[in-house]
Amino acid sequence: MTDQLDQMSQQRVSIEIFDTTLRDGLQVEGVSATVDDKLRIARQLDYLGVQYIEGGWPGANPKDIEFFARAATELELSASTFVAFGSTRRPRGKVDEDVTLQHLLDANTSAVCIVAKSSAYHVTEALQTSLDEGASMIADSVEFLHGHGRRVLVDMEHFFDGFKVNPEFSYRALEAAVLKGASHVVLCDTNGGSLPHEVEEIVRAVHGHIGNDVIIGIHCHDDTGCAVANSMAAVRGGARHVQGTLNGLGERTGNANLTSIIPNLQLKQNFVCLPEGRMERLTVVSHRVAETLNRAVNPQAPYVGSSAFAHKAGLHVSAIARARDAYEHVDPSAVGNGTRFVVSEMAGKATIQWKADEIGVSLDGPEIKAIIDELKRLEHEGYQFEAADASLELLMRRATGWQQDFFRVESMRLITDEVGRAAFSTEATVKVWVGDERFVFTAEGNGPVNAIDTALRRAVQKAYPQLSRVHLIDFKVRILDGGEATGAVTRVLLTATNGVEEWTTIGVSPNIIEASWRALEDSLVYGLLHPPDA
């Protein structure tokens, strides 16, 4: 039996994962990364264990020049190979006079990836040159880089669209790369318009044509919502190298999402994408990269989203307690995520019990009943704990008689002045006790919530420096009884992070400042209760 298992594991086929978050991923609107951010992301990708990390265009601009210079000395990768990206030589140019190719060599990476025009239409229309010259540009460039000892991956731009119209030229482009020593030809769905059955068919045809001399790769964009499915279809057709980005970042509708593709291939199809023991890091890496780029992970993202394994109170909570696999498609811990039970006033005893087990609070029968009564009372006032897990946890702890002793607020004062026309200044003063020490802090803010957050945080941070890692990432306000206009009740939801975990707290009051203040206090207490481990 053991022999049989050994044999089975030997037969597992490897799929190379090539991450392009640092190039294609950063094309997403509203995102910009500093050189430090890029180094941090590269380290996270190596921690996850992807095979290739594409760093971008060396020499393209001062930021990229600095990034490649610092990567050469500061980036110590243990699992991943760092790749410089560029393009083939210019039409009618010479390889040894080509600036882009020279930058690729200067980057001094063992592997380089170049983009090549593999669609006849793009050669004649975009490059305004002949198909012969188009093929020569690829052949010359690959030969030059290969001759300088580089492993050469070629991204075949617009491959699928070109192949549908003129497969002869697309094959010619591939052959030019293969004959001159490319290690990989990566078929790109650059406009993202292809569908899974087309991708599988074309990749299979290419595989039949060029055989196993080089590795066939796939690079998809999500314009039809099929980038993940297209990447998997390509693997069915014979691709063994998948390019994509973490969290599907990328311009327009994004790139193929590696945080979905990797577990799909490895957990469901028995391929090997990551080294042993790395799949469990997927969720934390996804969130850390999102955090670095200041873009929260979609809660509904497959595998890594905070709702990916969340079960709402009701019929199946007690059933899932008995048999988790009846309601979860994979074990959440396989990707480093966890089961969550979402609690609302509909909650029964089983849900509260499970939530208590999840957060490690032990409750007796009367305490559970008290919590359910309190939930009903608060939800009637306008609280809603479905989204505010952190406040729920604090409520449950308080039901056992627990009280936070991190800090005690003596008073808070907020002043907003109109200084001249349309210029507002806001200032908050907070007096806080930590043990028998009193801290008084005043802060200005661009608005009242910002001012009270800054003042409270500064005061408490004096005693708890670990709070410097905690910051707000989302602030939602909702007016609950619209009919009452400015007299209505306000619900505030605050989401904070320590760089590893995210949590949401709630405050409700007719006074928007009080609602925000309650949510802020809970947010800091939760942050102090749950220091990040790494």
Nearer to Zn ion (CB atom), residue 261 or residue 452:
261
Nearer to Zn ion, 218 or 342 (CB): 218
181: helix, coil or strand?
coil
Tell me whether residue 185 or residue 352 sits nearer to Zn ion (CB atom).
185
The reply to whether 222 sits near Zn ion by the rule CB under 5 A is no
Provide the minimum distance between the beta carbon of 135 and Zn ion in the complex, in angstroms, as a whole number: 22
CB of 231 to Zn ion, least distance (A): 12
Closest to Zn ion by CB, 12 vs 252, is: 252
Taking contact as CB under 5 A, which single stretch among the options 24-32, 71-79, 94-102, 194-202 is the one that binds Zn ion?
24-32
What Å distances lie between residue 461 and 56, 186, 369, 432, 440, CA to CA?
38, 50, 36, 11, 12
Among the listed ranges 17-25, 63-71, 256-264, 272-280, the one in contact with Zn ion (CB under 5 A) is: 17-25
- Report the C-alpha gap between 51 and 354 in whole angstroms: 39
Query: What's the rounded Cα separation, in Å, for the pair 399 and 339?
Result: 23
Strand arrangement of the beta sheet that strand 471-479 belongs to? 471-479, 490-497, 502-509
- Smallest gap, in angstroms, from Cβ of residue 255 to Zn ion? 6
- In angstroms, give the least distance from the CB of 227 to Zn ion: 10
Q: How far is CA 419 from the centre of its chain?
A: 42
Beta carbon of residue 518, minimum distance to Zn ion (angstroms, whole number)? 45
Instruction: Name residue, tokens 């994408």.
Output: 273
Structure tokens at 39: 């180094």
Q: Is 167 exposed, middle or buried (0-12, 13-18, 19+ CB in 10 A)?
A: middle
**13: three-class secondary structure by DSSP:** coil
Stretch that binds Zn ion, among 7-15, 21-29, 109-117, 431-439 (CB under 5 A): 21-29
Q: Smallest distance from the beta carbon of 19 to Zn ion, in angstroms?
A: 12
- Name the one range near Zn ion by CB under 5 A: 20-28, 270-278, 368-376, 405-413: 20-28
358's tokens = 């999840």
CB 306 within 8 A of CB 502: yes
Q: Shortest gap between Cβ of 447 and Zn ion (angstroms)?
A: 39
Helix (H) or strand (E) holding 409: strand 408-418
Selected range binding Zn ion among 19-27, 355-363, 415-423, 460-468, rule: CB under 5 A: 19-27
Consecutive H or E run containing 19? strand 16-19
Element (H, E) at 342: strand 340-342
Our CB check for Zn ion shows the closer of 24 and 98 to be: 24
24 vs 502, beta carbon nearer Zn ion: 24
CB of 63 to Zn ion, least distance (A): 20
In the bound complex, what is the minimum distance in angstroms from residue 41's beta carbon to Zn ion?
17
DSSP-derived pairing of the beta strands 471-479 and 490-497: antiparallel
Nearer to Zn ion, 24 or 522 (CB): 24
Of 18-26, 43-51, 497-505, 522-530, the window that binds Zn ion (rule: CB under 5 A) is 18-26
CB of 218 to Zn ion, least distance (A): 11
Residue closer to Zn ion by CB (options 254, 263) is: 254
**CB-neighbour burial class of residue 266 (10 A; exposed 0-12, middle 13-18, buried 19+):** buried
- Report CA torsion sign: 284, 285, 291, 297: negative
Q: Residues 16, 19, 24, 389: which binds Zn ion (CB under 5 A)?
A: 24
Number of residues binding to Zn ion, judged by CB under 5 A: 1
Interface segment toward Zn ion; rule CB under 5 A; list 22-30, 364-372, 386-394, 522-530: 22-30
Q: With respect to Zn ion, which residue has the nearer C-beta, 255 or 498?
A: 255
Distance of CA 163 to the CA centre of its chain: 32
Sequence length of the chain is 534
Residues ≥6 apart with Cβ < 8 Å to 158: 117, 118, 119, 121, 122, 188, 190, 191
- Give the per-residue SS3 of 446-495: CCHHHHHHHHHHHHHHHHCHHHHHCEEEEEEEEECCHHHHHHCCEEEEEE
> Considering the complex, what minimum distance in angstroms separates the CB of residue 113 from Zn ion?
11
Cβ neighbors of 417 (< 8 A, separation 6 or more) are: 424, 425, 426
Site map (CB under 5 A) of Zn ion, residues 440-479, x = contact: ----------------------------------------
Residue at shortest CB range from Zn ion? 24
- Cα separation, 318 vs 106, in Å, equals 61
Q: Would you say 155 or 522 has its CB closer to Zn ion?
A: 155
Nearest distance from residue 297's CB to Zn ion, in Å? 21
CB of 121 to Zn ion, least distance (A): 18
**With respect to Zn ion, which residue has the nearer C-beta, 26 or 137?**
26
CB nearer Zn ion, residue 25 or residue 382: 25
197 phi-psi bin (left φ>0, alpha ψ -120 to 50, beta other): alpha
Q: Which of 426, 422, 392, 391 is nearest to 412 (CA)?
A: 426
C-alpha span between 416 and 427 (Å, rounded): 6
Residues 531/466, Cβ–Cβ less than 8 Å:
yes
Query: Please, are residues 243 and 216 in contact by the beta-carbon 8 Å criterion?
Result: no
Of the pair 122, 478, the CB lying nearest Zn ion is at 122
Q: Which residues bind Zn ion (CB under 5 A)?
A: 24
